[in-house]
Amino acid sequence: MYEGVIQELIDELGRLPGVGPKSAQRIAFYLLQADADQAKRLAEVLTEVRERVRFCEQCGNVAEAELCNICRDPRRSKASICVVEESKDVQAIERTREFKGLYHVLGGAISPIEGIGPDNLRIKELVSRLADPDIKEVIIATDPNLEGEATATYLTRMLSPMGITISRLASGLPVGGDLEYADEITLGRAFEGRRTVS
């Protein structure tokens, strides 16, 4: 146990996800020994990010203005909306360079056991956006786990009467893997979602 501000720094760092007491101590001592400008810059960025970053009013992604870069971009297609759980998922899909439409960030997935129901997610906002006649397709890209699939089921049931094409990301074998090591559930999904090649 250290005294004063150094212990406060260790305690605060220890509150961060994935940072245990030992790691917090190591980071704290690194910052003490590092260049003073580096620590100052870190403090400034932390303050700045809390002041400037907010959530896009349209899609819920992180933004520095009323709308995020993707919603503001006139080159993006307005015909399709990709629904994801978190802002991190937007970045993962953007890295593929395959999708040119807009996003909608739900802010999580339905998990009754954690007390999270449909009303706790940005589903009402999604339904409001779908009133735009330009939107022709909703791509549900929630995580391929139980909560993500349940959220997709709920969204499909809710959006189907709106007459918009609803699609779900395919799931199956990871690229670069060996078939023999795939578990039976993933392999079963790959069979279900197989496509005709000729």
Partner 1 sequence: MPLYRDEAVVLRTQKLGEADRIVTLLSRYRGQIRAVAKGVRRTASKFGSRLEPFMVVDAQFYEGKSLDIVNQVETIGSYGGQIIEDYGAFTAANAMVEAAERLTSEESSPQQYLLLVGALRSLAGKEHDSSLILDSYLLRALAIAGWAPSFDNCARCEAMGPHSAFVMQVGSVVCQNCKPIGAVAISTDTSDLLGALLSGDWDLAETASDQARSSASGIVAAYSQWHIERGLKSMPHVERA
Give the footprint of partner 1 on this chain (CB under 8 A): 18, 111-115, 117, 145-146, 149-150, 153-154, 157, 174, 177, 181, 183-186
3-state secondary structure of 137: strand
Output 89 or 102, the one with its CB closest to partner 1: 89
The dihedral through the CA atoms of 191, 193, 196, 197 has a sign that is negative
Output 47 or 177, the one with its CB closest to partner 1: 177
In the complex, minimum distance from the CB of residue 152 to partner 1, in angstroms, rounded to a whole number: 8
In the complex, minimum distance from the CB of residue 93 to partner 1, in angstroms, rounded to a whole number: 14
Output 6 or 108, the one with its CB closest to partner 1: 108
- Specify which residues 105 forms β-bridges with: 84
Sequence length of the chain is 198
**Nearest 5°: phi and psi at 83?**
-95, 120
**What Å distances lie between residue 191 and 102, 149, 176, 187, CA to CA?**
30, 18, 18, 6
In the complex, minimum distance from the CB of residue 118 to partner 1, in angstroms, rounded to a whole number: 8
In the complex, minimum distance from the CB of residue 172 to partner 1, in angstroms, rounded to a whole number: 10
Cα gap 54→185, rounded to integer Å: 39
- Specify which residues 82 forms β-bridges with: 103, 139
In the complex, minimum distance from the CB of residue 82 to partner 1, in angstroms, rounded to a whole number: 18
Output 70 or 144, the one with its CB closest to partner 1: 144
**Nearest 5°: phi and psi at 84?**
-125, 165
Output 77 or 153, the one with its CB closest to partner 1: 153
In the complex, minimum distance from the CB of residue 110 to partner 1, in angstroms, rounded to a whole number: 8
**What Å distances lie between residue 192 and 106, 112, 173, 181, 195, CA to CA?**
27, 28, 12, 18, 9
Output 6 or 169, the one with its CB closest to partner 1: 169
